Amino acid sequence: MHLPASFIQTIENTFGQRGRLFLRALPTLLEEAAERWQLSEIRPAQQLSYNFIAFARQREVEVVLKLGVPDRELTSEVLSLGYFAGRGAVRLLDSDSEHGMLLLECLRPGAQLASLADDTRATHIAAGIMLALRRPAPSETGLIRLADWFRGLEKFRAQWGGGTGALDAHLFEQAQTASRDFFAEDHVPTLIHGDLHHFNILSSERGWLAIDPKGVIGPAAYEVGPFLMNPWAVVGVPPEAPKLMRDRVATLSEALSLEKERIRKWGLAHAVLSAVWSLEVNEDWRPAMECARILAALED
């Protein structure tokens, strides 16, 4: 099986030895999934990142096969897709969390939200999906807790002896303060996507739908964070980003009935957390911190 070098590097950098074992087992896993779900015409996706994705046919129906490293995030994804039940998200047809296998509805035409040139329209679409996905947190223990993610900021500082390494100390402190304040509030625990951005929203015959949820329990307003800093975290921050960011905050505030300041602070907190994650896997952290800087400046 030929796999892109970039995919191999991402899996190894992210999962270490577990990733290397997954890559070696991938041909066998693919055969097992094909036999289990009676799949034919299996065609790997052109772009692979943290999971192996392939298009296939199950009898006369187009489906998507997703194979990943079995871990807490994959288990949480499977659980959350079950709770979303196709409302605002791709439908989960079958799964085996223990072996990292998911069989999913195929979304056609499948264009990414990142392909829309109209940023305001894209923001309205994303806000609608945020509302469609949002629901009271179930008691399921296998879902990710947002508070656990943000404890990563404290761990990062501990690794740097109380400092922030290459990351701007002032922005880092703003992110820590905002997240502590939000978690101290008496918020209603909510199940959200947790990684809703321009590359995880696709067009379909059922409208725009989310894919690849993390399945996170926490304050509902956090959902704006990943969206605010994308697709710039991948394609680079454009010169017009400050105006676009201000417009996004205003649009999300109106659509979600959230204060602009709350959206701004959650966006900043997520951007700094994202930079920490990028550093941990040797990826470029600078676009995330640039988005944090832009969001910090919006209060002026």
SS (H, E, C) 74-112: HHHHHHHHHHHCCCCECCEEEEEHHHCEEEEECCCCCCE
Q: Is the pLDDT of residue 156 over 60?
A: yes
> Same structural domain for residues 143 and 44?
no
Q: Is the pLDDT of residue 300 over 70?
A: no
Mean pLDDT, rounded, for 220-249: 96
Q: Is the pLDDT of residue 48 over 70?
A: yes
- The CATH number of whichever domain residue 226 belongs to comes to 3.90.1200.10
> Same structural domain for residues 236 and 220?
yes
- The CATH number of whichever domain residue 94 belongs to comes to 3.30.200.20
Indicate the number of domains in the chain. Answer: 2
Rounded to whole angstroms, how far apart are CA atoms 223 and 230? 13
Q: How confident is the model at residue 139 (pLDDT cuts 50, 70, 90)?
A: confident
Strand-strand pairing, 92-96 and 101-105: antiparallel
Nearest by Cα to 217 from 291, 292, 147, 272: 147
Higher pLDDT residue, 262 or 299? 262
Residue at which a domain ends, from 105, 129, 154 = 105
In tens, the pLDDT along 69-100 reads 999 999 999 999 999 999 999 999 999 999 99
> Same structural domain for residues 170 and 66?
no
pLDDT of residue 186: 79
> Same structural domain for residues 128 and 268?
yes
> Same structural domain for residues 40 and 149?
no
Q: How confident is the model at residue 1 (pLDDT cuts 50, 70, 90)?
A: confident
Q: Which residues form the domain of 258?
A: 113-297
Name the β-bridge partners of 66: 53, 102
> Same structural domain for residues 117 and 193?
yes
Rounded to whole angstroms, how far apart are CA atoms 125 and 156? 34
Q: Is the pLDDT of residue 282 over 90?
A: no
> Same structural domain for residues 222 and 81?
no
Mean pLDDT for the chain overall: 95
Name the β-bridge partners of 201: 210
Residue at which a domain ends, from 50, 70, 105 = 105
Q: Is the pLDDT of residue 296 over 90?
A: yes
Nearest by Cα to 102 from 71, 58, 67: 67
pLDDT of residue 187: 83
> Same structural domain for residues 207 and 80?
no
> Same structural domain for residues 87 and 124?
no
φ/ψ of 262, rounded to 5, equals -65, -45
Nearest by Cα to 219 from 179, 252, 275: 179
> Same structural domain for residues 96 and 208?
no
- What's the predicted TM-score (pTM) here? 0.94
**If DSSP codes are grouped into helix, strand and coil, which group holds residue 22?**
helix
> Same structural domain for residues 228 and 91?
no
> Same structural domain for residues 195 and 57?
no
Rounded to whole angstroms, how far apart are CA atoms 290 and 296? 10
